[in-house]
Amino acid sequence: MDIEKSTDELVVQMRSITKRFPGVIANSEVDFDLRKGEVHALLGENGAGKSTLMNVLAGLYKAEAGSISVHGKPEKFGSPREAIEAGIGMVHQHFMLVPSQSVTENILLGLEEPRFRMKLPEYNQRVAEVAEQYGLHVDPDAKVWQLSVGEQQRVEILKMLYRGADVLIMDEPTAVLAPSEIDELFNTLRSMTEQGKSIVFISHKLHEVMAISDRVTVLQKGRITSSGLYTKDVTRADLARLMVGREVVFRVEKSEVQVGDIVLDVKDLEALNDKGIKSLNGVSINVREGEIVGLAGVAGNGQNELAEALVGLREAIEGSITVNEQDVTNKPVKLGIRHGISLIPADRAKVGTAPNLSVTENVIMKNYDQKPIANGWRVNKHEAGKYATGLKDAYDIIVPTIDTSVRLLSGGNLQKVILAREISSEPKFMVAVQPTRGLDVGAIEGVQKLLLSQRESRAAVLLISEELEELLSLSDRIYVIYEGEIMGEIDDGDIDKIGQMMTGTPLEQIGKEGVN
Amino acid sequence: MADISVKESAPKWKFPFKIKIENRVDNAPRWLSPVLSLAAVAIALLIGAVVIWIAGGDPWAAYSHIAKYSLGSWGVLSDTMVKAIPLMLVGLACSIAFRMKLWNIGAEGQFFLGAFGASMVVLLPVLPMEAPKWQFILVSAGFGMFFGALWGFVPGFLKARYNVNEIISTLMMNYIAIEWNNYFIYGVWSESGFQMSRMFQRNAWLPRLSDLAKRWPFFGGLTTHFGLVFAIVAALILWWVLSKSRWGYEIRLIGDNPRAAEYAGISIKKNIVLVMIVSGALAGLAGASEIMGVVHRLQGAISPGYGYTGIIIAWLAKLNPLAVILASILFGALILAGREVQPSGIPTLIQGLIMVFLIASDFFYRNRVRITRKVED
């Protein structure tokens, strides 16, 4: 393996690439090299310009300046098709598959062959051969909608390999995967590099970059801060510093807080998901005053349904929810708000805010009918404006004016709008679902501090997250949910046990099945 | 390869400007929205002119004729206002519903039911023949609004309860409304077999400007009726509700993001029903004022599609109740022009074109177009 890599054969050379978008320079004179048979990580915060750079390479964007050469030959890609003809394929964060068609049909989509008759059995065979070669286990005949997210990603990779790509760009490939699927993806990537493929791995997760890459290039605000470092020569702290331009504390400072009475008490809760299938099955949890309780689990195991049921957005078909000994089971959302229940929703744009309304109109969403903002039937614009200005200053929301539509805000600022609104209502119980997802390191720190401040002001916080690291550093204890059932509760941060519970082993059975 | 050689053989001169289209990264300026509405009207008139010219007419003469006979004197201006009154009310009906992204296409049917309700006051009769005028004004307006509201409530309830698509249900209910009225015109209230009711007695009519002619001769012959007061008061109230009130805030929040509204504890179902009731009541009031102020009897063909024109007016006014008044006067003039211009399809064509350009103008609201000088390299 090492012998192959030391040949240093350059597959891709990008020189002083500059790409502008209205108002921002996404890439400024960026250089990037990719060697044959390596995994080259492209690391940076959100908005650092990683995806932009690779979209230029994949022919989706045209750079204003700079040159690209592939296998030593200068290229100027006008479209993804031209890029793939030169052997460069990109797997995007959001898959581009037709759910109702089979794997083979998806792979053949847009190709010249077969010309008229589909001849599916023959092509199924070919797809299976390519899949076999790289250890990508997927049934060519299966319909895409039947596949798990991990399998769909394999189809996307297969699509590129079938088109003869020898450079594969993976844009944040682990964002959608469960931990076991991530391991499998890493195995696939390794088997591909062994067979001479080169891989660009875009990520903002340090531990993944450390685990999979041979070299790493770090981008910060559109510029290179370090180029082509050998991963084995650097530490996580080095990379973090290069990424954000300052030291990042990984340990969150947590003060001692005296835990009080039980605030949230959920007993035997059952609820259906949107498709009418039972997705919460006898969930019993509690959260006490001054406590952050984590809920770990792979996405889609009932976390969203639980959060919605707790605030009254989803009907509980069985069981009870009490907050400070008030029964709020299946009570209107507004009543919950009055009882001091607050939710930081997972989807900031689709649930948490109204995109075309102003910052002011968004922060008064939960107290527009309370004095002093409500004045009889009227909304007192003056009071609302004063309130919004106060929050803007207190939470450092960066926005031209409070009359700006929130759709123009960045993810971090949008989350600040939501947090400002929710925290200023002085909640007794707060559910935070994935509060730091998609935010950059600086913003994540800010959000985590705000959550801890809630704990200090003796609120009860339920933190639902897929980031184990975040759960471990913020939570006082952690519940693990799997297929709508609580597998157990951990208060010593035992990652191994959490991992096993996340894949469906109840706490009491761990260790009983012998060592494996 | 091929296109490179073409480029090389092309003459040296190049178009010196570059047009760039970018997504807006800030709020569009306040003046843009009315300017786009005006531009839509202007372009529609321009294309109308081309069509008139192709048809062998003189566009300038045609347009000045239209202007003269719809806005040129107090008499014709009054006629324009008569056409504009029902348009204002249905325009308001559509505006409130559209603010919540509730596509009420049923203003036409609600208009007919409003006309039916008002007629009932005279024909059933609800009020005695010789009741004072002010009673007729209030009671017929109330009945018109009630029946319009009922016609709005049905699709609203179906949507809230069973998630029935309101576009289909409101549209279909228009046909039921027309046939419902026909039943009464042909049968119950038919005047000696004609397809119309008897003429209402004069004290049931809405007062008109010409009623004041005895004291001020200036108003002689002016047909603008009391419905204008209804329309302007309704516009002012609706403007206040939508921009100042708590309910208006709820409507805007639901319109922009229903899931966020639900999360803020606002009942969407309740508001769907309420908004459809108010929307229906406004369209019903339009029907009542048309019957009591202009037609003075229940008959067929009381609307040249007012309910549908209200949709265009609402968009032209960008759902702003005060702008609905101005947009309605423009469309009142266009409807009147249909009488004056041959072929009479031209004003209808212009209405349609305005709608098309309004929808297209949204592009400029979302994007910024930049024209820059090309830099020679």
**What pTM was computed for the model?**
0.76
Partner A contacted by B375 (CB < 8 A): no
| Structure-block tokens of residue A365 | 């969403």
Most confident of A22-26, A177-181, A343-347: A343-347
Query: Residue A332 and residue B26: Cβ atoms within 8 Å?
Result: no
Pairing of strands A291-296, A460-464: parallel
DSSP structural state of residue B299: B
B contacts of A408 (beta carbons < 8 Å): 25-27
Note the pLDDT tens digit of each residue in B86-110. Answer: 999 999 999 999 999 999 999 999 9
A contacts of B244 (beta carbons < 8 Å): 378-379, 381
Domains A2-243 and A262-509 fall in the same CATH topology = yes
Mean pLDDT of chain A: 87
List the single residue in A345, A357, A381 with the smallest CB-CB distance to B256.
A357
Partner B contacted by A356 (CB < 8 A): yes
pLDDT at A476 over 60: yes
Average pLDDT over residues A465-474: 84
Partner B contacted by A357 (CB < 8 A): yes
pLDDT at A386 over 80: yes
Residue ranges of alpha helices (H) inside chain B are 2-9, 32-54, 59-71, 74-99, 107-123, 133-162, 166-183, 227-244, 246-256, 258-263, 268-290, 306-316, 321-340, 345-366
Are the CB atoms for A154 and A103 separated by under 8 Å? no
Q: Low-confidence residues of chain B, pLDDT below 50? A: 1-9, 376-377
Instruction: Provide Rg for chain A, Cα atoms.
Output: 25
Partner A contacted by B247 (CB < 8 A): yes
B interface mutation test: which of A362, A379, A413, A431 has the most B CBs within 10 A?
A379
Note the pLDDT tens digit of each residue in A409-463. Answer: 877 888 999 999 999 989 999 999 999 877 777 788 888 989 999 999 999 999 9
Domain-wise residue ranges, chain A: 2-243, 262-509
pLDDT at A236 over 90: no
List the single residue in B26, B244, B249 with the smallest CB-CB distance to A368.
B249
Alpha carbon of A235: minimum distance to chain B alpha carbons (Å): 38
pLDDT at A290 over 60: yes
Pairing of strands A198-203, A39-43: parallel
Angle CA(B115)–CA(B118)–CA(B123) in degrees, nearest 5? 110
Rounded Cα gap, residues A96 and A159, in angstroms: 10
Alpha carbon of B42: minimum distance to chain A alpha carbons (Å): 28
Alpha carbon of A312: minimum distance to chain B alpha carbons (Å): 9
Q: What is the pLDDT of residue A203?
A: 85
Query: Residue B262 and residue A313: Cβ atoms within 8 Å?
Result: yes
Are the CB atoms for B146 and B117 separated by under 8 Å? yes
Q: What is the pLDDT of residue A62?
A: 87
B interface mutation test: which of A21, A333, A335 has the most B CBs within 10 A?
A333
| Structure-block tokens of residue A117 | 């008759």
Question: Residue A388: which pLDDT band, with cuts at 50, 70 and 90?
Answer: very high
- Of residues A9 and A194, more confidence is placed in A194
CATH architecture of the domain with range A2-243: 3-Layer(aba) Sandwich (3.40)
Are the CB atoms for A11 and A197 separated by under 8 Å? no
Are the CB atoms for A263 and A428 separated by under 8 Å? yes
Name the residue among B75, B85, B76 with its Cα closest to residue B292.
B85
| Structure-block tokens of residue A133 | 């070669």
Domain-wise residue ranges, chain B: 88-321
pLDDT at A7 over 60: no
Burial label, A337 (beta-carbon count in 10 A; 0-12, 13-18, 19+): buried
Question: Residues of chain A with pLDDT > 70: what percent?
Answer: 94
Average pLDDT over residues A109-126: 83
Query: Residue B265 and residue A403: Cβ atoms within 8 Å?
Result: no
Interface of A with B in 299-318 (CB under 8 A): 311-313
Q: What is the pLDDT of residue B28?
A: 74
pLDDT at A28 over 70: yes
Alpha carbon of B286: minimum distance to chain A alpha carbons (Å): 27
Q: What is the pLDDT of residue B7?
A: 45
ipTM of the predicted assembly exceeds 0.85: no
Alpha carbon of A453: minimum distance to chain B alpha carbons (Å): 23
Domain A262-509: CATH superfamily, name plus number: P-loop containing nucleotide triphosphate hydrolases (3.40.50.300)
- Rounded to 10 deg, the angle between the A120-134 and A149-162 helix axes is 100
Query: Residue B25 and residue A23: Cβ atoms within 8 Å?
Result: yes
Are the CB atoms for A182 and A174 separated by under 8 Å? yes
Count Cβ–Cβ pairs < 8 Å, chain A vs chain B. Answer: 78
Rounded Cα gap, residues A494 and A488, in angstroms: 12
Q: Which residue of chain A has the CA closest to B22?
A: A22
A contacts of B253 (beta carbons < 8 Å): 354, 357, 361, 365
Query: Residue B27 and residue A379: Cβ atoms within 8 Å?
Result: no
A interface mutation test: which of B263, B268, B270 has the most A CBs within 10 A?
B263
B interface mutation test: which of A339, A370, A378, A421 has the most B CBs within 10 A?
A378
B contacts of A357 (beta carbons < 8 Å): 252-253, 256
- A423's enclosing H/E stretch is helix A411-424
